[in-house]
Amino acid sequence: MTLTMADYAISTVETIIAPVRGFTVAGVPAGIRKSGRRDMALIASAVPCAAAGVFTTNQVKAAPVLLDQTHLAANPAGMRAIVVNSGVANACTGAQGLADAAASAALVAAALGCRAEDVFVLSTGVIGVPLPMERIAAGISALAGNLAPDGWAAAADAILTTDTVPKTASVRVQTPDGDYTIAAIAKGAGMIAPNMATMLAVIATDAALSPAALQAALSAASRLSFNRIVVDGDMSTNDTVLALANGASGVTVTDGDGLAAFQAALTAVCTELAKDIVMDGEGATRFITLHVSGAPDEEAARQVAMAIATSPLVKTAFYGGDANWGRILAAAGRAGVLLDAGRLALWIAPGESDCADGLQLVADGSPTAYSEDAAAAIMAAPEVSARLDLGLGAASCTVWTCDLSHDYVSINGHYRT
């Protein structure tokens, strides 16, 4: 029998995560954070999982990143759990940091009855501070005692730092062989830039995939989501996205339309979380969708889009509701892509839009006779879209960013206090 995409149905992305077969989850307060809020989470599978990961490209990598890269390389088909702590990043902590990350994995392994090499460790928080291992140990014990299929909300809350809201997403995929779920939690609000940022994401699915197929799908989904968001242009030491697939649904994803459906569902989940991170950006008041079209190739479009998305002048203009479009063109011009200024065209629109019916501000590199009042009204919206067409080809790219406010400076000027 030949199957087509018509044989697969992908639900809309939900923010409430229903139990994912074979996984139990918990989030508890371990006393790592001064506030006394939840600060440790554990995601565990009853059976070994295929695993995949995408990590920060920062050359200064935190101890848990180095540990996880080692565990993933050695054991891509046998991972069992992910433990997360917030409040302390365990970055720039030398040999002690590596030992503490390994000890955390060993404590989880002892609690679950698996090997330390079967456990991933994630940390987020202040750089240069060692893990409080007594509290970590007590937290792991509490997590193991609270594991439950419906623990996703507590876990999502436990991994936050400067975030104001938890970030959760899930989809269900119906196949000819049954259904499976993809669920994920994420954190991130600052140090957000391409190639990820101060963000962590944990993805769990009860579908069965090979490690290679899962890694390819995660890399592709991350390229279109987590690697296309900007809050402030900084890149962290701890950025990690991990995916576990335990096969408990009985549905096996191999190739063809089945893999295409999985890819579409995974990308939808990752995109939802990526947008949530931008919407919750530190001090952000506006969510901005940037489209760059008419590029000679996708990489050129991405390069121009990221130059605009990371520009402090562009971001502060959006904060002020000022249609100062010259800043957008100036940022595009310094992106390192060969442009023809006389071909540039720019539109803006309220909401998350493709700007097809937007207000055109620039045509052929010069301003149109647009209404300043109309432009100001669009820029005052909580969600704004802009499209810059380069007039050079058919390639395009979309990225998501936010404005830059006074509150961003306040939050980061006193981050440790």
Which tokens go with 357?
Answer: 């019916």
* Phi then psi dihedrals of residue 252, to 5 deg: -105, 130
CA angle 28, 32, 36 (to 5 degrees): 65
How far is it, in rounded angstroms, from Cα 54 to Cα 343?
Answer: 37
Instruction: Determine whether 3 is exposed, middle or buried from the number of CB atoms within 10 Å of its CB (0-12, 13-18, 19+).
Output: middle
Catalytic residue list: 198
Distance CA 346, CA 363 (A): 7
Task: Identify the bridge partners of residue 385 per DSSP, sorted by sequence position.
Answer: 289, 349
Name, in order, each residue with C-beta under 8 angstroms of 86's C-beta and a sequence gap of 6 or more: 32, 33, 39, 40, 123, 124, 125, 158, 159, 160, 161, 187
- Residue 118 has φ and ψ, to the nearest 5°, of -95, 5
CA distance 188 to 218: 18
Interatomic CA distance for residues 360 and 374, integer angstroms: 11
Can you read off the two tokens belonging to residue 285?
A: 């008041």
Dihedral of CA 61/62/63/69: which sign? Answer: negative
Choose among 410, 402, 413, 415: nearest CA to 193: 402
Neighbours of 300 (CB within 10 A): 22
